[in-house]
Amino acid sequence: MATVKDFRNKVKPNWCPGCGDFSIQAAIQRAAANVGLEPHDLALITGIGCSGRISGYINAYGFHGVHGRVLPLAQGVKMANRDLTVIASGGDGDGFAIGMGHTIHSIRRNINMTYIIMDNQIYGLTKGQTSPRSEAGFKTKSTPDGSIEASLNAMETALTAGATFVAQSFSSDLKELTSLIEQGINHDGFSIINVFSPCVTFNKVNTYDWFKENLTKLETVEDYDYTDRKKAMQTLMEHNGLVTGLIYQDDSKPSYQDQIPGYKSTPLSESELKLEKETFERLANEFM
Amino acid sequence: MIDQLSWKVGGQQGEGIESTGEIFSTALNRLGYYLYGYRHFSSRIKGGHTNNKIRVSTKPINAVSDDLDILVAFDQETIDVNYHELRSGGVVIADAKFNPSIPEDGKATLYEVPFTETAKELGTPLMKNMVAVGASSAILGIPADYYQEVVEEIFSKKGQSVVDKNMQALQTGAEQFREQAGDNVDAFLLEEADGKKRMFMIGNDAIGLGAVTAGSRFMAAYPITPASEIMEYLIKTFPDFGGTVIQTEDEIAAANMAIGSNYAGVRALTASAGPGLSLMTEAIGLSGMTETPLVIVDTQRGGPSTGLPTKQEQSDMMAMLYGTHGEIPKIVIAPSTVQEAFYDTITAFNMAEEYQCPVILMSDLALSLGKQTVEPLNFDNVQIRRGKLDQAPDLPVQAPEEYFNRYEYEAEGDGISTRLLPGTENGIYHVTGVEHDETGKPSEKPENRQQQMDKRLKKTQTVPYRFDEPVYRDEPYEKADLLVVGINSTRGTIQEAVSRLREEGHAIHHAHIRLLHPFPVEELEQALERTEKVVVVENNATAQLANIIRLNTGVNAENILKYDGNPFLPGEIYRECKELL
Ligand SMILES: Cc1ncc(C[n+]2csc(CCOP(=O)(O)OP(=O)(O)O)c2C)c(N)n1
Ligand code: SF4
Ligand SMILES: [Mg+2]
């Protein structure tokens, strides 16, 4: 059985020292080992950003696509080979700006895969512009007088879109994060996990200390019930979205792939491509 | 007795014009006639003039005709819009309900048949199309009971009484026409056909069937005219083979999903028209850069922007060739008949895997939606070729830092490397749209950059030599006065114009470009050497194909351009060619 070591490929990440993304890398490696994956069973599909580079830093099949399109790419992989464990990941700009449409529709579609957003509330790779996750008033290179757009309530949006698994974590909390990724992988459907991952270089507001002060763990919220959608929504609103833990899970909904008429239970990639002659003739006859 | 004629039915969109044409032509197809149908429709769902023109012949035909023998009209507008097409001696069969009138030029004869009235009397005005089919068949001398089989197939689900009612409507229509016309109308009696069973399908059907036959099992697409039929066909067909179609949120998702699926080993496609192709351009670059197979069908329609969504044009060629930033290997294949659309779809999937690059199957509205009789498709020749894909590699145990050389560079090689699928034990490698080294890890080293660029770009060099008939060439003369070049759906139309010119004693050659990229330079040059003059026929305003030819061969051609939304008629090409002679 593979251990966490087997998921390390010895490539030195080009992230800034102290970047929150390092812990997300570690958490994915641990979670993959903990759920019993072999490196070749895992496909890590990523977007473009500092975050997206993670596909090259974990020993697994990695595909680093184009900006904002990680989810369609990852869903295509899963549709082709349902035996692969597919994790998609990318930045907050990737998933909530350019790729927002795909995020909502992937949630609705509910294909069995896990989506991890490495949320630093800023554009890291392009050197510090505002993101849909930046707070109103946030000053960046692109908003020198402070952002005048409202910040996106990501987890509320996910709930509204019909997500069957919604979680949020903080990159410093390796234990919670690892456990949530494991739960996400094991969830039969689309799991969205937003991870606060401080950008130490460009975001001087939402720092490690800031998060420590402002985040509330859901396990400390009295009577919190992650199967209660209304309660989940209410709690998110009360805490301005700054909670961590499993926010919501609905086990009862079948995943997309389990509902497709005729869809193979074995990987589609293992199909015999050539038709039988009789089969072809039957298809051709439909046009006569 | 005649061996061919042209028939057209017209009315308001949504009042059964399509089904009238369908039933009429399906029955004729079963009798062994060759058919070519072209629908003229507007982008409205209800209302707006629509018509379906069908050419019927005892011999193969590949184009619409210049004129019209029989016009079936459900409203006066149909007569007003289409009367000019009728040849002298033609016939208009119109619904008596709207008190039809035709110009008093003596060109055609009008027969009024109470389509709506009769249908109402038999139960429902919906059956007026059956009355019209009955009248149409009477004029051709085709007995109404030949429709029994077709009518049963369509209506049997609704019960025997519906079948009977529809047959009755058909018979009544035939009788009513005969009562009016008496024995006067025998000019349109059709010679008997050979009774052979042949397929009758639109280009999009052939592409769908080609995809299943090529082993494709997944499609991701967003609806658009005139591509949607491909998706609709595969939605109903893939489940039998374990596969499926996802209707995505947009074409960007569709193309990226298809890339993901191909990467993981499933032959996946997407299909769209110009607007969707525009959205896919970044993904096309990703496929090229990561050497991931991808098949995109572009059924061209009138552009730019939303343009003429339901009309014919061939104006995406430059977008297909150049519509992505940077430089990638790419293949663009252009079928020109429904048969070729089937075979070329299979080639597209094979080449996408063999060359590990995007392949665009270029079609146009007239090819995608024109319904033609198809000679039997040869299944025995179908090959599935997956190139250097290794699905069961024998690999040494891989340490976590040792990545597989997915993008191996060999100075003397063909540029194509062994491809493994995710899930392969000991085969881990990385894929990225960032410039990368042989293992797929990002690298900006200048030497590596040049090697990887060279490797990718040289891959498709052999395509023109391996593609079966990259240029269709019909060159019966030692040296021609004129070579007519076309692409996609104009094949049959040019053929017809060319044969008329030949009958008049002109030495005319015809070449049809079947592989647009990489351009079959040598093949076309051979054709160019054997002619005095060249003319390129294309449905766009800026002579895109002629420009591509000049770019590749240095030859300046004459142009015949049409961009009013309608396909060329044989006579138009004939006349314009004649002016060049
Ligand atoms: C189509 C496109 N537009 C713009 C860019 C430039 N770009 C690269 S990453 C990025 C945003 C990065 O922010 P985020 O997604 O939050 O990732 P982070 O770097 O913060 O991890 C942008 C705008 C691009 N690569 N592609
Ligand atoms: S710029 Fe910010 S997000 Fe990017 S690596 Fe540095 S710290 Fe991390
Ligand atoms: Mg970011």
Strands B49-57 and B34-40: antiparallel
Average pLDDT over residues A51-72: 98
Average pLDDT over residues A77-102: 98
Q: Which candidate, A27, A30, A17, places its Cα nearest to that of A244?
A: A27
Task: Show residues of chain A in contact with B441, CB under 8 Å.
Answer: 11, 56
| CATH number of this structure's domain B4-197, picked from the four choices 3.40.190.10, 3.40.920.10, 3.40.50.2300, 3.40.1370.10 | 3.40.920.10
What pLDDT is stored for residue B536 in this prediction?
Answer: 98
What pLDDT is stored for residue B499 in this prediction?
Answer: 97
Considering the domain boundaries, does residue A146 fall inside one? Answer: yes
Alpha-carbon distances of B543 from B388, B510, B547, rounded to whole Å = 38, 18, 6
Q: What is the CATH number of domain B470-580?
A: 3.40.50.920
What pLDDT is stored for residue B537 in this prediction?
Answer: 98
Considering the domain boundaries, does residue A98 fall inside one? Answer: yes
**Counting ligands in written order, which one lies closest to the CA of residue A200?**
2
Helix, strand, coil percentages, rounded to 5, for chain A: 40, 15, 45
**Could you please report the per-residue DSSP string of B453-499?**
HHHHHHGGGGHHHHSS-SEEEE--SSSEEEEEEEEGGGHHHHHHHHH
User: In this complex, do B244 and A63 lie within 8 Å of one another by their Cβ atoms?
Assistant: no
What pLDDT is stored for residue B15 in this prediction?
Answer: 86
Computed on alpha carbons and rounded to an integer, the radius of gyration of chain A in Å comes to 20
What pLDDT is stored for residue B42 in this prediction?
Answer: 77
Considering the domain boundaries, does residue A39 fall inside one? Answer: yes
What pLDDT is stored for residue B47 in this prediction?
Answer: 81
pLDDT tens digits along B517-526:
999 999 999 9
Please give the order of strands across the beta sheet that includes B531-538. B471-474, B508-513, B480-487, B531-538, B558-561
Does residue A222 register a pLDDT over 80? yes
Average pLDDT over residues B384-393: 97
Alpha-carbon distances of B137 from B131, B134, B199, B211, rounded to whole Å = 10, 5, 21, 36
Domain coverage including residue A87: 4-262
Task: Tell me the average pLDDT of chain A.
Answer: 97
What pLDDT is stored for residue B181 in this prediction?
Answer: 87
Q: Which two tokens stand for residue B379?
A: 């299944």
- Using an 8 Å Cβ cutoff, are B340 and B204 in contact? no
Question: In whole angstroms, what is the distance from residue A24 CA to residue A2 CA?
Answer: 19
User: In this complex, do B258 and A81 lie within 8 Å of one another by their Cβ atoms?
Assistant: no
pLDDT tens digits along B320-334:
999 999 999 999 999
Indicate the SS3 state at residue A266: coil
User: In this complex, do B433 and A65 lie within 8 Å of one another by their Cβ atoms?
Assistant: yes
User: In this complex, do A81 and B265 lie within 8 Å of one another by their Cβ atoms?
Assistant: yes
Residue nearest to atom 3 of ligand 1 (CA): A67
Q: For residue B41, what pLDDT band results from cuts at 50, 70 and 90?
A: confident
Q: For residue B349, what pLDDT band results from cuts at 50, 70 and 90?
A: very high
Equal CATH topology for B4-197 and B201-374 = no
Interval between CA A143 and ligand 2 midpoint (Å): 19
Considering the domain boundaries, does residue A267 fall inside one? Answer: no
| Residue B329: other Cβ atoms inside 10 A | 24
Report the residue of chain A nearest B428, measured CA to CA.
Answer: A61
Does residue B45 register a pLDDT over 90? no
Q: Which of B218, B282, B433 sits opposite A79 (nearest CB)?
A: B218
The three-state DSSP-derived secondary structure of B215-277 is: CCCEEEECCCCCCHHHHHHHHHHHHHHCCEEEECCCHHHHHHHHHHHHHCCCCEEEEECHHHH
Task: Show residues of chain A in contact with B265, CB under 8 Å.
Answer: 80-81, 267, 269-270
Give residues with Cβ within 8 angstroms of A88, minimum separation 6.
A45, A46, A47, A70, A71, A73, A74, A113, A114, A115, A116
- Using an 8 Å Cβ cutoff, are A66 and A90 in contact? no
Count of the separate structural domains present in chain A: 1
Considering the domain boundaries, does residue A24 fall inside one? Answer: yes
Q: For residue B278, what pLDDT band results from cuts at 50, 70 and 90?
A: very high
Residue A118 CA: nearest ligand 1 atom is: 21
Task: Tell me the average pLDDT of chain B.
Answer: 96
Considering the domain boundaries, does residue A281 fall inside one? Answer: no
pLDDT tens digits along B95-107:
999 999 999 999 9
Does residue B185 register a pLDDT over 80? no
The ipTM estimated for the assembled molecules is 0.98
Q: B4 burial class (0-12, 13-18, 19+ CB within 10 angstroms)?
A: middle
Residue nearest to atom 25 of ligand 1 (CA): A67
Task: Show residues of chain A in contact with B380, CB under 8 Å.
Answer: 277
Domain boundaries, chain B: 4-197, 201-374, 388-468, 470-580
pLDDT tens digits along B497-554:
999 999 999 999 999 999 999 999 999 999 999 999 999 999 999 999 999 999 999 9
What pLDDT is stored for residue B405 in this prediction?
Answer: 98
Alpha-carbon distances of B501 from B63, B206, B570, rounded to whole Å = 16, 31, 11
Q: B478 burial class (0-12, 13-18, 19+ CB within 10 angstroms)?
A: exposed
Does residue B493 register a pLDDT over 80? yes
Interval between CA A135 and ligand 3 midpoint (Å): 13
% pLDDT > 90, chain B: 94
Q: Which of B242, B403, B440 sits opposite A268 (nearest CB)?
A: B242
Interval between CA A129 and ligand 2 midpoint (Å): 12
% pLDDT > 70, chain A: 100
User: For position A236, which CATH number holds?
Assistant: 3.40.50.970
Question: In whole angstroms, what is the distance from residue B67 CA to residue B65 CA?
Answer: 6
Return the higher-pLDDT residue of A158 and B20: A158
Q: Which of A120, A122, A206 to mutate to test the pocket of ligand 2 (most atoms within 8 A of CB)?
A: A120
Considering the domain boundaries, does residue A257 fall inside one? Answer: yes
Residue nearest to atom 1 of ligand 2 (CA): A124
User: In this complex, do A45 and B197 lie within 8 Å of one another by their Cβ atoms?
Assistant: no
What pLDDT is stored for residue B90 in this prediction?
Answer: 95
**Could you please report the per-residue DSSP string of B166-206?**
HHHHHHHHHHHHHHHHTTS--TTPBPP------EEEEHHHH
pLDDT tens digits along B201-246:
999 999 999 999 999 999 999 999 999 999 999 999 999 999 999 9
Does residue B44 register a pLDDT over 80? no
Considering the domain boundaries, does residue A227 fall inside one? Answer: yes
Average pLDDT over residues B30-59: 91
Q: Which of A69, A102, A271 sits opposite B241 (nearest CB)?
A: A271
DSSP code of residue B391: S
| CATH number of this structure's domain B201-374, picked from the four choices 3.40.50.11440, 3.40.50.970, 3.40.50.720, 3.40.640.10 | 3.40.50.970
Strands B294-300 and B268-272: parallel
